[in-house]
Amino acid sequence: MSLRDLQEDARARARNPVPGAASFAKFMNVLQVIADSPGTLDMAQITRRTRFPRGTVYRLVAALVAEGLVSQSGENGTFRLGPRLLQLAAKTWEDSDLRTIARDFLASLRDATDEAVHLAVPSNNRMVYIDKLVGSSTVQMKTSIGGQVEFHSTSVGKAWLSGLTDDRLEEIIKGLELTRHTANTLTSPEALREELKRIREQGFAFDDEENEPDIRCLGSPIFNRQREPVGAISVSMPVYRHDARRHELRARLVRETAIRITAELSRIP
């Protein structure tokens, strides 16, 4: 189908709405609100953010919970994405060219550092882990495939941001809530911009206990053949397993690994 055909089809659909499309849009709106703030919003807060009538929100959320697309915490009544949605997403990640290409390189990086390594991609102003390999130590990060982290407080997030054009970067920064997670978290746009300048110069990002205490991470961006950042990789370790010598070595390894993944990914038409 040509571009003109697609445009004509879109105009036709706009003139003749698909039955149920409005209801589907409401479901997606609620789902997006929950995805953007996982584990932090209760029913009243979701209602305020969607601006739908309370009865409508209750009905939509109940249906999402029944289908396993959303789950509710028994402790504080907040909501997050459910297991069924994560399972569906995982099927997409398993078929991802990026995940497939990166796996052997991630394994080599894990073997060289004996630390946890992650592959993450951007999604709705967050980074989502789509792969993780761990080292031999019993002390590891409590991260999982499908887990979401913020741009400004993580090495994968800052690495991905550093690869954006200036215009696109400003668009993203304007929409971020620079939440403080630790005493080291960057919480001002100015501080974040300065940090991203350093990352661009050195080729890697450093999370110095900015997302969670006692954890440090080094990350680098991955680009497609159009030189657009499509993801990032990281090496993560407890503070006690990080020093100046290891920092230099792991920074070089994560940067070189990202470059190799980028080179392989660039071969895909």
- The answer as to whether 37 is a domain residue is yes
- The answer as to whether 116 is a domain residue is yes
pLDDT (0 to 100) of residue 1 = 44
Domain co-membership, 145 together with 231: yes
CATH of the domain at 254: 3.30.450.40
Domain co-membership, 76 together with 102: no
Where in the sequence is the domain holding 113, given as residue range(s)?
A: 96-265
Angle among Cα 86, 92, 98 to the nearest 5 degrees reads: 120
Q: Write the burial class of residue 190 (CB in 10 Å: 0-12 exposed, 13-18 middle, 19+ buried).
A: exposed
- The answer as to whether 192 is a domain residue is yes
Domain co-membership, 145 together with 181: yes
Angle among Cα 191, 150, 241 to the nearest 5 degrees reads: 85
Mean pLDDT split into 10-residue runs, the chain, 269 residues: 50 53 84 83 92 91 89 84 71 68 96 96 88 83 82 97 96 92 96 97 96 96 94 96 95 98 86
pLDDT (0 to 100) of residue 2 = 47
Domain co-membership, 103 together with 214: yes
Domain co-membership, 121 together with 221: yes
pLDDT (0 to 100) of residue 83 = 73
Domain co-membership, 214 together with 114: yes
pLDDT (0 to 100) of residue 3 = 44
Domain finish residue from 81, 111, 143? 81
Domain co-membership, 56 together with 145: no
Yes or no: say if 151 and 158 are a contact pair by the CB < 8 Å rule. Answer: yes
Rounded to a whole number of angstroms, the CA Rg of the chain reads 20
Domain co-membership, 238 together with 199: yes
Domain co-membership, 189 together with 111: yes
Report the number of distinct structural domains present in the chain. 2
Q: Write the burial class of residue 152 (CB in 10 Å: 0-12 exposed, 13-18 middle, 19+ buried).
A: buried
Domain co-membership, 101 together with 224: yes
- The answer as to whether 131 is a domain residue is yes
Closest CA to 85 of 3, 28, 47, 150: 28
Yes or no: say if 101 and 265 are a contact pair by the CB < 8 Å rule. Answer: yes
Yes or no: say if 67 and 84 are a contact pair by the CB < 8 Å rule. Answer: yes
pLDDT (0 to 100) of residue 11 = 54
Yes or no: say if 223 and 229 are a contact pair by the CB < 8 Å rule. Answer: yes
Domain co-membership, 166 together with 135: yes
pLDDT tens by residue, 24-42: 888 889 988 888 787 788 9
CATH of the domain at 25: 1.10.10.10
